[in-house]
Amino acid sequence: MTKELTLAATVENIETVTDFVNEELEAFDCPMKAQMQIDIAIDELFGNIANYAYHPEIGEATVRIEVFEEPLSVVITFIDKGVPFNPLAEEDPNTTLSAEERPTGGLGVFMVKKSMDEILYEYEDGKNILKIRKNL
Protein backbone atom coordinates (compact mmCIF):
# COMPACT_ATOMS: atom_id res chain seq x y z
CA MET A 1 0.00 0.00 0.00
CA THR A 2 1.42 3.35 -1.05
CA LYS A 3 -0.17 6.79 -0.77
CA GLU A 4 1.25 10.22 -1.59
CA LEU A 5 0.45 13.79 -0.73
CA THR A 6 2.05 16.78 -2.45
CA LEU A 7 1.56 20.20 -0.92
CA ALA A 8 3.25 23.52 -0.20
CA ALA A 9 6.22 23.08 2.13
CA THR A 10 4.97 25.40 4.89
CA VAL A 11 4.96 25.07 8.66
CA GLU A 12 1.16 25.44 8.52
CA ASN A 13 0.96 22.18 6.53
CA ILE A 14 2.72 20.04 9.17
CA GLU A 15 -0.69 19.26 10.68
CA THR A 16 -2.08 18.22 7.26
CA VAL A 17 0.87 15.86 6.71
CA THR A 18 0.53 14.42 10.22
CA ASP A 19 -3.20 13.80 9.72
CA PHE A 20 -2.52 12.18 6.32
CA VAL A 21 0.03 9.76 7.82
CA ASN A 22 -1.98 9.07 10.99
CA GLU A 23 -5.04 8.10 8.95
CA GLU A 24 -2.98 5.33 7.36
CA LEU A 25 -1.32 4.30 10.63
CA GLU A 26 -4.69 3.95 12.36
CA ALA A 27 -5.88 1.61 9.60
CA PHE A 28 -3.05 -0.74 10.64
CA ASP A 29 -3.60 -0.42 14.41
CA CYS A 30 -0.25 1.28 14.83
CA PRO A 31 0.82 1.27 18.50
CA MET A 32 0.37 4.70 20.10
CA LYS A 33 4.07 4.99 21.09
CA ALA A 34 5.19 4.37 17.48
CA GLN A 35 2.58 6.81 16.17
CA MET A 36 3.80 9.52 18.57
CA GLN A 37 7.43 8.93 17.49
CA ILE A 38 6.39 9.16 13.83
CA ASP A 39 4.41 12.36 14.53
CA ILE A 40 7.50 13.94 16.14
CA ALA A 41 9.59 12.86 13.13
CA ILE A 42 7.08 14.44 10.72
CA ASP A 43 7.08 17.66 12.75
CA GLU A 44 10.87 17.81 12.67
CA LEU A 45 11.54 16.68 9.09
CA PHE A 46 8.67 18.46 7.31
CA GLY A 47 9.37 21.51 9.48
CA ASN A 48 12.99 21.52 8.28
CA ILE A 49 11.83 21.36 4.65
CA ALA A 50 9.36 24.19 5.29
CA ASN A 51 11.95 26.38 7.00
CA TYR A 52 15.07 25.73 4.94
CA ALA A 53 14.58 23.90 1.61
CA TYR A 54 13.33 26.84 -0.45
CA HIS A 55 13.94 29.78 1.89
CA PRO A 56 12.75 32.50 1.45
CA GLU A 57 10.50 31.08 -1.30
CA ILE A 58 7.85 28.40 -0.81
CA GLY A 59 8.15 25.21 -2.82
CA GLU A 60 6.39 21.87 -2.85
CA ALA A 61 7.10 18.74 -0.90
CA THR A 62 5.77 15.24 -1.39
CA VAL A 63 5.17 12.86 1.49
CA ARG A 64 4.78 9.19 0.64
CA ILE A 65 3.67 6.51 3.09
CA GLU A 66 4.19 2.82 2.44
CA VAL A 67 3.16 -0.02 4.74
CA PHE A 68 4.98 -3.35 4.54
CA GLU A 69 3.83 -6.59 6.11
CA GLU A 70 7.03 -8.62 6.63
CA PRO A 71 7.92 -7.32 9.17
CA LEU A 72 5.01 -4.95 9.74
CA SER A 73 6.59 -1.55 9.20
CA VAL A 74 5.90 1.86 7.75
CA VAL A 75 8.21 3.86 5.48
CA ILE A 76 7.60 7.58 5.14
CA THR A 77 9.46 9.39 2.38
CA PHE A 78 9.91 13.17 2.24
CA ILE A 79 10.77 14.56 -1.23
CA ASP A 80 11.58 18.17 -2.06
CA LYS A 81 13.40 20.06 -4.82
CA GLY A 82 15.00 22.53 -2.43
CA VAL A 83 18.63 23.15 -1.53
CA PRO A 84 20.52 19.83 -1.33
CA PHE A 85 20.83 18.93 2.36
CA ASN A 86 21.69 15.61 3.97
CA PRO A 87 20.63 15.79 7.63
CA LEU A 88 22.40 12.47 8.27
CA ALA A 89 25.77 14.04 7.39
CA GLU A 90 25.48 16.40 10.36
CA GLU A 91 27.39 15.36 13.47
CA ASP A 92 25.19 14.22 16.36
CA PRO A 93 24.98 16.81 19.15
CA ASN A 94 26.95 16.17 22.32
CA THR A 95 24.06 15.46 24.69
CA THR A 96 26.42 15.32 27.69
CA LEU A 97 26.76 19.11 27.49
CA SER A 98 24.23 21.40 29.10
CA ALA A 99 21.74 23.20 26.84
CA GLU A 100 23.72 26.41 27.32
CA GLU A 101 26.99 24.78 26.20
CA ARG A 102 25.53 23.00 23.16
CA PRO A 103 25.43 24.75 19.79
CA THR A 104 21.91 25.42 18.46
CA GLY A 105 20.36 22.92 16.05
CA GLY A 106 20.67 19.25 15.29
CA LEU A 107 18.77 17.90 18.28
CA GLY A 108 15.54 17.25 16.35
CA VAL A 109 17.21 15.15 13.65
CA PHE A 110 19.16 13.35 16.41
CA MET A 111 15.85 12.45 18.13
CA VAL A 112 14.45 11.19 14.82
CA LYS A 113 17.55 9.01 14.30
CA LYS A 114 17.14 7.53 17.77
CA SER A 115 13.40 6.80 17.46
CA MET A 116 13.26 5.35 13.93
CA ASP A 117 14.54 1.92 12.86
CA GLU A 118 16.17 3.24 9.70
CA ILE A 119 16.83 6.59 8.03
CA LEU A 120 18.14 6.94 4.48
CA TYR A 121 18.97 10.06 2.47
CA GLU A 122 19.79 10.51 -1.19
CA TYR A 123 19.93 13.42 -3.59
CA GLU A 124 18.72 12.32 -7.00
CA ASP A 125 17.44 14.17 -10.09
CA GLY A 126 17.53 17.50 -8.24
CA LYS A 127 15.52 16.13 -5.29
CA ASN A 128 16.21 15.58 -1.61
CA ILE A 129 14.78 12.16 -0.71
CA LEU A 130 14.67 11.28 2.98
CA LYS A 131 13.13 7.98 4.12
CA ILE A 132 12.33 6.94 7.65
CA ARG A 133 11.28 3.40 8.59
CA LYS A 134 9.53 2.38 11.79
CA ASN A 135 8.86 -1.25 12.62
CA LEU A 136 5.42 -1.75 14.11
Length of the chain: 136
The more confident residue out of 104 and 18 is 18
Q: Is the pLDDT of residue 102 over 70?
A: no
- CB neighbour list of residue 128: distance below 8 Å, 6 or more residues apart: 49, 53, 78, 79, 80, 81, 82, 84, 85, 86, 121
Global pTM value: 0.91
Q: 102: burial class by Cβ within 10 Å (0-12, 13-18, 19+)?
A: middle
- The pLDDT-based confidence of 108 (bands split at 50, 70, 90) is confident
Q: Identify the structural domains of the chain with CATH numbers, from first to last.
A: 2-135 (3.30.565.10)
d(CA 96, CA 114): 16
The more confident residue out of 3 and 102 is 3
